[in-house]
Homo-oligomer: A and B are copies of this chain.
Amino acid sequence: MHRSYPPCSDESQILASITLRTSLEQPVAKQTEQPLTEFSLIRAIARRFGRDARRLIKGIGDDAAVITPPPSVWWHVTTDLLTEGVHFDLTTADPYTVGYRAAIANLSDLAAMGATPRYLFVALAIPRGFTSQHIFSLYDGLMEGCRNHRVVLIGGDTSVSRGGLFVSITLMGTSAAGQALFRHGATIGDHIYVTGTLGDSQAGLQLLNEPRSFRATSQRKWSLSAKDRQFLIKRHLRPSARLREGQWLNGKNLATAAIDLSDGLSGDLQHLCEESGVGAEIDSGALPISAACRAYAAAYGVSPVDLALKGGEDYELLFTVSPSQQTTIERQARRRGFQVTRIGVIRPRQFGIQITQASGFPRPMPITSYEHRFS
């Protein structure tokens, strides 16, 4: 099985992401002309990204990385695996984007714990047809995703792959000892909040997957401004992890429970409710949906609420807050410039998870988030 991968900078192949890349002024890796072997790759990665860091005893280049922990911390460790044809498609996301989004998926997990990310490990299975430029571009995207967060790449593994690209990331972070946000901890009567807006990433993905011929036709009945299209695609290709928000909620003891929205609101709310042993009622009218996402929904004849409930990979935070903290949290969020929206309330477990439509009664919320099926 030998396939060729799109060149990293061919606009005709990966128009949207390249447009974004240029506009974001991200570095593009230089092509290495020599054949790339495992150990030369490791040396090149170490040269390019390895650096000294406080408390790092040994980074890339030994049997294991060695770290000396600061006193009185908890370690938070998360692992995410992204596989070609399942989590990403190299016709709609170039290697840089794959790396960037892999970083965000992991950073978002630590954001949901209220932790500070520190050390990164990257295991990469590299298919035939993937050039050294692709590989370095992927690492560039990874490190760009981690920028502003002082994350250091300190280890990993690389292998040939006989079946597509596989990216497995392990990210370690810290919080003050005794201080973390968990999925358990929500209690009946707590308010349910989310950061940012929901559904944008899903709308952006659907725009990227739209057949080119369909996009180009002049007979389309709908319209979506170039600005809205660009906004939604950027939200898919260059999401953010809500680390500052998570650290704020954790440091100030403001949330009773938290989870990041990677699988979609409906599925992730279910995880939080299961771990907390509670139910929830969501007000569909309160869901924060961007103007671009509403415009997309109108143009394509889909429900914006469905996008907000089912769309994955928004990487916003879902968290619960004791009623006594409601005014505090909203005041502090405003002062810090964080967008937080109250979307519902925690109910008893037997209530299940229900959603209230505009001026109607609550009805059971369909749980439709993505889940892998193995057999």
Total copies of the chain: 2
Whether A166 is near chain B, meaning CB under 8 Å from some CB there, is yes
Asked if B159 contacts A86 (CB within 8 A), the reply is: yes
Asked if A162 contacts B81 (CB within 8 A), the reply is: no
Whether A113 is near chain B, meaning CB under 8 Å from some CB there, is yes
Q: Name the residue of chain B whose CB is nearest to the CB of A80.
A: B157
Q: With contacts A62-B184, A62-B275 known, what are 11 further pairs, Cβ within 8 A?
A: A35-B374, A37-B372, A38-B373, A38-B374, A41-B374, A64-B115, A65-B78, A68-B75, A69-B69, A69-B75, A162-B163
* Cross-chain contact of A74 among B67, B124, B260 (Cβ < 8 A): B67
User: Which of A's residues lie within 8 Å of B, judged by CB?
Assistant: 1, 35-39, 41, 57-58, 61-69, 71, 73-87, 108-110, 112-113, 115, 119, 121-127, 130-132, 135, 154-164, 166, 168, 170-173, 177, 180, 182-184, 258-260, 275, 371-375
* Cross-chain contact of A76 among B38, B66, B125 (Cβ < 8 A): B66
Asked if A374 contacts B162 (CB within 8 A), the reply is: no
CA A69 to CA B55, docked complex, whole Å = 14
A and B contact pairs by CB, cutoff 8 A, 17 listed: A1-B163, A36-B373, A36-B375, A37-B374, A62-B113, A62-B182, A63-B109, A63-B112, A68-B177, A75-B75, A77-B154, A79-B170, A85-B163, A86-B159, A158-B374, A163-B164, A168-B168
A375-B35 contact in complex given A1-B1, A81-B123, A110-B63, C-beta closer than 8 Å: yes
- Interchain nearest-CB distance for A361 vs B (Å): 29
- Interchain nearest-CB distance for A49 vs B (Å): 15
Residues of chain B within 8 A of A87, CB atoms compared = 159
Residues of chain B within 8 A of A172, CB atoms compared = 77
